[in-house]
Amino acid sequence: MRQDKLWANINLAFFIFLCSLKIVSTISARDLKILGPVFSHSSNILAKEKAIAVSLEAIKLIVTAEEVLILDPLRPEVLSLVDRLKQQFPQSHETRVAQESSLLDPEAAEDLQSHHELPFEFQVLEIALKVVCSFVDSSVVALETEALPVLDELTKNVSTENLDYVRSLKSNLTSLLARVQKVRDEIEHLLDDNKDMADLYLTRKWIQSQQQSKALVLGGTTSKRSSSMVTCNNTKEDEDVEDLEMLLEVYFTQFEGVRNKILTVREYIDDTEDFVNIQLDNRRNELLQMKLVLSIAT
């Protein structure tokens, strides 16, 4: 019985490996490096012809127009992403069938796009950004909650232990600020380049590819209708980029807010350190005065 279960697990793992291999093959080996351990805290959103490589904090994804491959999905930081994806796409198969059935019907495809808020890859990207933003924001709140009592205590009782603790908090804040800055900068980089944003629209490429393939097979009237649909998709390209731009601007604003929150806490730490230094200088001056008085008295 154990042997059967073992073989079942091996077969399942091999099947998952084959599915993953199909997705990974759409990205070059050099581009896959951003998903490796060397870039564990890097932030990159890289669009290729048939896939998007996403590296945001602990979240490492390869997204196509139909599928998403999640690296290390059992990590605590990634589990919330998996749960959100399951909630977002409970009927992904039916959605894809509806898209395929409308490929040769321009009116049906246009109606489908008008009712579909965002394509699959944008929804996955939005969920990833939301999870990362929530994670770093909760980290900032935790550090802020931890820092404020310690800083208040430091103003009343200057000790080596308190100073070391505040120094550690400041180091953690600086590290977190750098990570938030990387995500913010990557979003800003995409917002500054319309072509990069257009390249992220994998669904458009997928639909046009399917239309062209069907046109070659069926020919004639279908070819004209498919060409009409391709033209329709091209006219919507600017609008699609605007949709992505709006999405990215929302999260750019959120990460900017997290960044400002970190800077505020760090500024409070700096002000507290300045206050403590003034206190120490005053005590040092008092000791020097006392020493001077004693030396005069003797």
Q: Is the pLDDT of residue 254 over 50?
A: yes
Give the rounded percent of residues in the chain with a pLDDT score beyond 70.
69
- Beta strands 43-47 and 59-63: pairing type? unpaired
Q: How confident is the model at residue 164 (pLDDT cuts 50, 70, 90)?
A: confident
Mean pLDDT of 38-66: 83
What digits encode the pLDDT tens for the residues 186-204?
999 999 989 999 999 988 8
CA angle 96, 85, 173 (to 5 degrees): 145
Mean pLDDT of 225-234: 51
Residues 13 and 16: their CA atoms lie apart, in Å, by 5
Q: Would you state the pLDDT for residue 40?
A: 60
Mean pLDDT of 71-96: 79
Q: How many CA atoms lie within 13 A of 94 on its CB side?
A: 3
Mean pLDDT of 131-138: 94
Q: Would you state the pLDDT for residue 12?
A: 39
**Amino acid, res. 232:** C
Note the maximum CA span of the chain. 114
Question: Which of 98-102, 120-124, 194-198, 260-264 bottoms out in mean pLDDT, i.e. has the lowest?
Answer: 98-102
Residue with the bigger pLDDT between 229 and 183: it is: 183
Q: Which CATH architecture has domain 2-297?
A: Up-down Bundle (1.20)
Q: How confident is the model at residue 262 (pLDDT cuts 50, 70, 90)?
A: very high
Q: Would you state the pLDDT for residue 129?
A: 96
In the chain the beta strands, taken as DSSP E runs, fall at 43-47, 52-56, 59-63, 68-70
Question: Which of 19-28, 112-121, 176-185 bottoms out in mean pLDDT, i.e. has the lowest?
Answer: 19-28
Give the rounded percent of residues in the chain with a pLDDT score beyond 90.
28
Domain boundaries, the chain: 2-297
Q: Is the pLDDT of residue 223 over 70?
A: no
- Give the range with max mean pLDDT: 19-23, 28-32, 78-82: 78-82
Average pLDDT score, the chain: 76
Q: Would you state the pLDDT for residue 192?
A: 93
Residues 129 and 132: their CA atoms lie apart, in Å, by 5
Cβ neighbours of residue 206 closer than 8 Å, sequence gap 6 or more:
50, 65, 66
Question: Which of 156-165, 217-226, 254-263, 267-276 bottoms out in mean pLDDT, i.e. has the lowest?
Answer: 217-226
pTM as predicted: 0.74
**Amino acid, res. 40:** S
Question: Which of 2-6, 141-145, 212-216, 256-260 bottoms out in mean pLDDT, i.e. has the lowest?
Answer: 2-6
Residues 40 and 142: their CA atoms lie apart, in Å, by 22
Q: Is the pLDDT of residue 21 over 50?
A: yes
Of 60, 57, 71, nearest to 16 by C-alpha is 71
Q: How confident is the model at residue 89 (pLDDT cuts 50, 70, 90)?
A: confident
